């Protein structure tokens, strides 16, 4: 028997026979629709003296823009929409499970792998666009050139390890959080049969979930920016080599 340690979603509570593989797709679709509706509502009637919704949105956009300009410098203008969308989309998906009857799509590996593969293909597409195919492949060979038989396979393995790392990190943290909440909820139901007093034992974990969800959204979007920046040469003026981007810039931003 397949036992899943997670709180039930409204699809199954309502008696709908929805295959489990479709649940994260539906949840992520809800998140996407919510973001689109919010953006449409805010931008439909922009005002010089913004209201609360417009001010709130502009603050978020400006904050994300400043953050990614701090990472990528002048290259950021091309990638802020993508990286900012990653952050907001992942953040809201992480928080979605805190709504009763909903679930976090990022607690499923299929969702996080899909996001990581987007980063993977964008990274190499932008690297080739910026340097040409031949120029981009040169950084896989390394310097001096006679180390190419050793360095090329190492670089290739490293590039394929990046989406694996991105997807597993996000999946593992959110899945672990959801599993812990489900265990505490089950424990609360068990204790209720003994003391007959309903207590929200899982409530303190939601504060931890808010922090963890935000951190994982930042880490995913930050590493995505570092990978893309390394491919297009955004860090070359600082003297960073290709292998040092991930660790050095992650430390710079406190991760």
Residue 4 lies in a domain: no
Model pTM score: 0.82
Q: How far is CA 250 from CA 146, 201, 215, 236, 255, in A?
A: 31, 35, 13, 16, 5
3 assigned to some structural domain: no
Confirm whether 83 is domain-assigned: yes
Region of poorest pLDDT, from 28-37, 111-120, 215-224, 244-253:
244-253
- Best mean pLDDT range from 16-30, 33-47, 171-185: 33-47
Q: Does the residue 103 lie in any domain?
A: yes
Interval 55-66: pLDDT, tens: 999 999 999 999
Residue of 20 and 244 predicted with greater confidence:
20
Find the mean pLDDT for residues 175-191. 72
Could you tell me if residue 1 is inside a domain?
no
Neighbours of 61 (CB within 10 A): 15
Residue 192 lies in a domain: yes
Q: Is 210 inside a domain boundary?
A: yes
Give CA–CA dist 213/6, Å, rounded. 17
- Distances in Å between the Cα of 43 and the Cα atoms of 46, 53, 100, 118, 165 are 5, 10, 29, 27, 36
Domain that holds residue 159: 10-252
Number of domains comprising the chain: 1
Whether residue 117 lies inside any domain: the answer is yes
């Amino acid at each position: 028997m397949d036992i899943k340690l997670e709180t039930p979603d409204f699809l199954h509570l309502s008696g709908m026979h929805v295959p489990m593989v479709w649940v994260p797709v539906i949840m992520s679709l809800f998140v996407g629709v919510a973001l689109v509706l919010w953006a449409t509502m805010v931008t439909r009637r922009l005002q010089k003296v913004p209201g609360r919704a417009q001010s709130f949105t502009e603050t978020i956009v400006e904050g994300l823009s400043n953050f990614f300009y701090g990472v990528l410098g002048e290259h950021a203008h091309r990638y802020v929409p993508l990286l900012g969308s990653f952050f907001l989309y992942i953040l809201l998906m992480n928080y979605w499970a805190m709504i009763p009857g909903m679930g976090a799509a990022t607690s499923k590996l299929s969702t996080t792998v899909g996001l990581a593969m987007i980063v993977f293909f964008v990274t190499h597409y932008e690297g080739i666009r910026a340097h040409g195919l031949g120029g981009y492949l040169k950084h896989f060979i390394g310097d001096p050139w006679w180390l190419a038989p050793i360095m090329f396979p190492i670089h290739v393995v490293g590039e394929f390890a990046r989406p694996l790392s991105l997807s597993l990190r996000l999946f593992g943290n959110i899945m672990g959080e959801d599993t812990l909440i489900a265990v505490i909820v089950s424990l609360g139901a068990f204790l209720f049969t003994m003391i007959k007093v309903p207590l929200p034992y899982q409530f303190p974990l939601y504060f931890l979930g808010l922090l963890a969800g935000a951190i994982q959204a930042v880490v995913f979007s930050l590493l995505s920016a570092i990978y893309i920046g390394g491919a297009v040469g955004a860090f070359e003026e600082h003297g960073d080599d290709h292998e040092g981007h991930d660790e050095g810039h992650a430390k710079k931003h406190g991760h």
